[in-house]
A = this chain, B = another copy of it.
Amino acid sequence: NLGDIDSCIQDLIDLTEDYKQLEATHKDYTVQLEQLSELQTKCVKNLSHQRYRLGIIKSTLKKYSVTVLIKPKDESEKEKFELLNKDLMRRQAQLNEMEESLPKKSGTYLKIILGSVNVSFLNKQERFKYKDDYEKFKLALSAIAMGLSVTNLIANLRILDLAFVFLMVWYYCTLTIRESILRVNGSRIKGWWRAHHFISTALSAVLLTWPDSTTYHLFRHQLMWFYVYISFVQYLQFRYQQGCLYRLKALGERHDMDITIEGFHSWMWRGLSFLLPFLYLGYFYQLYNAWALYQLSFHPGSEWQIPVLSFLFLILFLGNTLTTSMVIPQKLRD
């Protein structure tokens, strides 16, 4: 018994050796942490100063750009002008690259939801992992939504309907948070897709308040089929986005750029042209929902939810169609 206590004491003494080392490492760490935060503040400050002064130069140049380009006094003026512009562009690209390893500020929405917590990643791998997670999260929730909406088509339980719609509120709300984090970390996700998820949250919230009435039952089947279809499209989208993500990552790691960028583009166009018909079909389904709800709003037992939902579906149809249609010419230009 006493022997056991002695062996415990011996163990603790052994551990103390390791602990001493850990203490030293930790001391080093805290000192460096302090230094790093100073360097960071300095970089952020100087960078924003550079940005500010570049901005002034650019706006001065802009004022003269029309006269210089249309009727330059001489060739040398035009040349100088173009050279200067190129220099400015290069400098700005350099600053952008620097910014990648510096913390970025959250937008208002994130500040309200999360408070002043720093959500920026300081390196590429973490950023990649985050995006990858985001896509997988969407896929997992689409699978669940598919399962629930099929169940709802077979069964007809009010409570299950509500659980499904509440899941949708939660899902779209979570998406807006994750997308804001992606945005802070430099994703070029278009404003519309984020707006889309805000509108979808609102739409689901309105659905949640729609009572269990005759009109609801007239629309219920169409709604559940819509979610089945959307979940399926989500799966196709996942395949496409995941493909882009991994190929772009591989591109960034290898350096034989010429061949692979072409490879990437051809893959992307194939993926896109496979995906687009399914997307447009989905958008027409949204238009069809808007139309059906519009018709339903003349039903004698119509609730206020019906015209509101009709309007929201119409907005979704318009926004999606416009945004997706604009992506194609934009990608052709790049």
Contact = CB atoms under 8 A, between A and B. Distances in A.
Given A84-B12, A87-B12, A122-B33, A46 B25 contact: yes
Given A11-B57, A22-B46, A115-B137, A5 B84 contact: yes
Nearest to A22: B46
Interface in A146-170: 158-159, 162, 166, 169-170
A181 B22 contact: no
A23 B25 CA distance: 29
B98 A26 contact: yes
A125 to B, nearest CB: 11
Contacts of A33: 36, 101, 122
A15 B115 contact: no
A80 B3 CA distance: 11
B73 A174 contact: no
A327 interface: no
Given A19-B50, A177-B114, A208-B209, A12 B57 contact: yes
A334 interface: no
A178 interface: yes
Contacts of A209: 162, 208-209
Given A32-B32, A32-B39, A22 B50 contact: yes
A198 interface: no
Interface string A41-77: 0110011011001101100110010011000010001
Nearest to A181: B117
Contacts of A129: 116
A252 interface: no
Given A5-B77, A60-B8, A116 B87 contact: no
Nearest to A67: B1
B4 A64 contact: yes
A263 interface: no
A73 B116 contact: no
A29 B19 contact: no
B117 A130 contact: yes
A273 interface: no
A158 B88 CA distance: 57
A166 B207 CA distance: 12
Contacts of A116: 126, 129-130, 133
A121 B118 CA distance: 9
CB-based closest 8 A-B pairs: A211-B211, A29-B39, A22-B46, A115-B133, A117-B119, A32-B36, A8-B57, A26-B98
Interface of A: 1-2, 4-6, 8-9, 11-12, 15, 18-19, 21-23, 25-26, 28-30, 32-33, 35-36, 39-40, 42-43, 46-47, 49-50, 53-54, 56-57, 60-61, 64, 67-68, 73, 77, 80-81, 84, 87-88, 91, 94, 98, 101, 112-117, 119, 121-122, 126, 129-130, 133-134, 137, 158-159, 162, 166, 169-170, 173-174, 177-178, 181, 205, 208-209, 211-212, 304
